[in-house]
Amino acid sequence: MDRRPIGIFDSGIGGLTVLHEVGQLLPNERLVYLGDTARVPYGTKSPETVTRYSIENTRFLMSKDVKAVVVACNTASAASVDALRAEFDVPVLGVIEAGVEEALSRSVEWRIGVIGTQATVLSGKYESLLRAKGAAEVVSAACPLFVPLAEEGWTDNKVAEEVARIYLQPFLGGAVDTLILGCTHYPLLQGVIGKVCGPEVRLVNSAHAIAVKLRDQLQSGRIENNTGPGDREYFFTDSAERAGAVGSRFLGENLDNRIQLVDLTPFESGKP
Amino acid sequence: MDRRPIGIFDSGIGGLTVLHEVGQLLPNERLVYLGDTARVPYGTKSPETVTRYSIENTRFLMSKDVKAVVVACNTASAASVDALRAEFDVPVLGVIEAGVEEALSRSVEWRIGVIGTQATVLSGKYESLLRAKGAAEVVSAACPLFVPLAEEGWTDNKVAEEVARIYLQPFLGGAVDTLILGCTHYPLLQGVIGKVCGPEVRLVNSAHAIAVKLRDQLQSGRIENNTGPGDREYFFTDSAERAGAVGSRFLGENLDNRIQLVDLTPFESGKP
């Protein structure tokens, strides 16, 4: 029994889809969310920069005395999970490992597709992990326009469908039987992605997978919190107003007056 | 006669369209470009954060002994030009003023449209400047998907045209006679924007306008450099590889081996 909160960070707002799933599965746990909106997006930045940001984000969460850290951002998971595990002594969970495990458990023929940001795909992390665990075939593609489409709220119009048709071409015609939505924003486009891919392709939302994995890890480490209800804190590094508007849409509840602005300067590298 | 270089900064790669125009018009001037790719995009960030970044960027350019600073980024021009003029003692030129002046000189009925990022449009800077200078009608709209479309290279496909048709609706049917492309990326979409708007709407590319203004200012201050050829330096704060690939497309020449990575930490606020 451990009343310390769970820390969740993302490059921005998208990780709220992960917070939502964790909250559903572990309603008694206290959750601290950090969205690094001042430095979003991570997807176009180098792995070194993303790792530096991830370390700073985790230092902030550690200052809130968290008992576990969930890396909700796919780009940060690809670049930084190993570095975080080396530097911090709490469990660190990444969305990529969780998504890979769920994809393999649901796929029949182990022919798996992955879509994500350019950085996630270029990192090759999904692909190498899937192959190491025995996947027969891995097909991946970057879908850079999906994030701005989701944030614009254009999730089921003609543009979204046309963009999905272009990006998802490599996954059609039986090329894969399972597709990992390798970016926290993509579940918002699940409808149009499913429409283009058809029912023969299973879609894996790794937000749910990481929530299950987190529950298992808390239980096996005997650090779960069974006396709720868990409170929540939402921190963003910039533009609380925009985070409130877009975040409320992502989370399905109004965040407007519950967001705190945080300056990460004290947690920057080279500082204690 | 002043051999010091001209500094040009942008939040990322788009400002290379400004550097290109300046180089065409002032081929003898030495140019130092800074693209803040580690912190791009500015368009989703608060004016305070954008101003802090702009000051840091300008400090870096001043360390290169520049004789003038061109703020190529529309978001930074909207948020920060006044702060930069207060803090630095070289001429500071912003794309917004240049674009407004050119639009008014070319418009017949002074009914002007403006498209840009959400931050540029929300700042109201174009609108207030246009009205202060006597515009009869100002219509503005944010086009968040234009930047990722330009960077993806989707500048003349079905998606680009459909997106343009949605965003440009407010400017059609005689609503304006002139449209300012209020974001450095938008000139790459000029073809599809012109197709949707039709020949009755003049398109203003402020990159050219600011180059003309810069030339006039150098001449009136007698600080021009007439003995070329001007050399160029390209600095980016992150991901030199991506900057090279996209930047080469923007500039129409290969940048790959000419890009230098720079760390702005020494120029951050609170530091000398």
Contact residues, chain A to chain B, C-beta under 8 Å: 37-41, 44-46, 49, 144-145, 147-149, 151-152, 154, 158-159, 162-163, 166, 238-239, 242
Contact residues, chain B to chain A, C-beta under 8 Å: 37-41, 44-46, 49, 144-145, 147-149, 151-152, 154, 158-159, 162-163, 166, 238-239, 242
Task: Tell me, yes or no, whether A136 and A192 share the same domain.
Answer: yes
The yes-or-no answer on residue A73 being catalytic is yes
Q: What are the pLDDT digits (tens) for B135-172?
A: 999 999 999 999 899 988 899 999 999 999 999 999 99
Task: Tell me, yes or no, whether B163 and B247 share the same domain.
Answer: no
Task: Tell me, yes or no, whether B19 and B30 share the same domain.
Answer: yes
Q: Which of B114, B115, B141, B183 is catalytic?
A: B183
Query: Is A158 within 8 Å of B163 when comparing Cβ atoms?
Result: no
Task: Tell me, yes or no, whether A233 and A151 share the same domain.
Answer: no
**Set of chain A residues whose Cβ sits within 8 Å of the Cβ of B147:** 148
**How does DSSP classify residue A116?**
E
Amino acid B196: pLDDT: 97
Which of B167, B185, B207 corresponds to the end of one domain? B207
Round to whole Å and give the CA distance between A234 and A260. 6
Q: What are the pLDDT digits (tens) for A45-82?
A: 778 889 999 999 999 999 999 999 999 999 899 889 99
> What residue type is A113 in one-letter code?
G
Query: Is A163 within 8 Å of B158 when comparing Cβ atoms?
Result: no
Task: Tell me, yes or no, whether A227 and A201 share the same domain.
Answer: no
**Set of chain A residues whose Cβ sits within 8 Å of the Cβ of B158:** 162
Of A145, A196, A246, which to mutate for an interface test with B (greatest number of B Cβ within 10 Å)?
A145
Query: Is B148 within 8 Å of A151 when comparing Cβ atoms?
Result: no
Task: Tell me, yes or no, whether B217 and B193 share the same domain.
Answer: no
Please classify residue A85 by burial: count the beta carbons closer than 10 Å to its beta carbon, then call 0-12 exposed, 13-18 middle and 19+ buried: middle
How is B19-72 classified by DSSP, letter by letter? HHHHHHH-TTS-EEEEE-TTT---TTS-HHHHHHHHHHHHHHHHHTT-SEEEE-
Taking 90 as the threshold, does the pLDDT of residue B1 lie above it? no
In a domain, A272, yes or no: no
Taking 80 as the threshold, does the pLDDT of residue A270 lie above it? no
Taking 50 as the threshold, does the pLDDT of residue B272 lie above it? no
Amino acid A240: pLDDT: 67
Which of A180, A206, A232 corresponds to the end of one domain? A206
Taking 90 as the threshold, does the pLDDT of residue A86 lie above it? yes
Other beta carbons less than 10 A from residue A223's beta carbon: 17
Amino acid B270: pLDDT: 57
In a domain, A213, yes or no: yes
Question: B270: nearest CA in chain A?
Answer: A265
Other beta carbons less than 10 A from residue B104's beta carbon: 17
Domain of residue B151, residue span: 97-207
Amino acid B199: pLDDT: 95
Of A13, A40, A44, which to mutate for an interface test with B (greatest number of B Cβ within 10 Å)?
A44
Structural domains counted in chain A: 2
Under the banding of pLDDT at 50, 70 and 90, the label for residue A167 is very high
Taking 80 as the threshold, does the pLDDT of residue A148 lie above it? yes
In a domain, B272, yes or no: no
Amino acid A227: pLDDT: 87
**How does DSSP classify residue A33?**
E
Per-residue tokens: A125? 């992390």
Task: Tell me, yes or no, whether B40 and B113 share the same domain.
Answer: no
Which of A158, A191, A206 corresponds to the end of one domain? A206
In a domain, A1, yes or no: no
Task: Tell me, yes or no, whether B189 and B215 share the same domain.
Answer: no
Beta carbons of B264 and B57 less than 8 angstroms apart: yes
In a domain, B1, yes or no: no
Query: Is A44 within 8 Å of B46 when comparing Cβ atoms?
Result: no
Of A46, A185, A189, A269, which to mutate for an interface test with B (greatest number of B Cβ within 10 Å)?
A46
Task: Tell me, yes or no, whether B81 and B153 share the same domain.
Answer: no
Round to whole Å and give the CA distance between B173 and A100. 51
Q: Is B157 helix (H, G, I), strand (E, B) or coil?
A: coil
Task: Tell me, yes or no, whether A86 and A121 share the same domain.
Answer: no
Q: What are the pLDDT digits (tens) for A103-115?
A: 999 999 999 999 9
Amino acid A271: pLDDT: 45
Q: Which of B73, B135, B147, B150 is catalytic?
A: B73
Query: Is B49 within 8 Å of A38 when comparing Cβ atoms?
Result: yes
ipTM over 0.85: no
Give the pLDDT mean for A25-35. Answer: 96
Taking 80 as the threshold, does the pLDDT of residue B18 lie above it? yes
Distance between A160 CA and the closest CA of chain B, angstroms: 9
**Set of chain A residues whose Cβ sits within 8 Å of the Cβ of B163:** 159
Give the pLDDT mean for A158-163. Answer: 97
In a domain, A255, yes or no: yes
| A and B: number of Cβ contacts within 8 A | 58
* Cα B55 off chain centre by: 16
Q: What are the pLDDT digits (tens) for A226-262?
A: 887 789 999 999 876 677 777 877 787 788 778 898 9
| Model confidence, pTM | 0.83
Task: Tell me, yes or no, whether A103 and A192 share the same domain.
Answer: yes
Q: How many CA atoms lie within 13 A of B206 on its CB side?
A: 32
Round to whole Å and give the CA distance between A39 and A70. 19
Q: What CATH number is associated with residue B174?
A: 3.40.50.1860
Task: Tell me, yes or no, whether A64 and A88 share the same domain.
Answer: yes
Question: B246: nearest CA in chain A?
Answer: A44
Taking 90 as the threshold, does the pLDDT of residue B78 lie above it? no
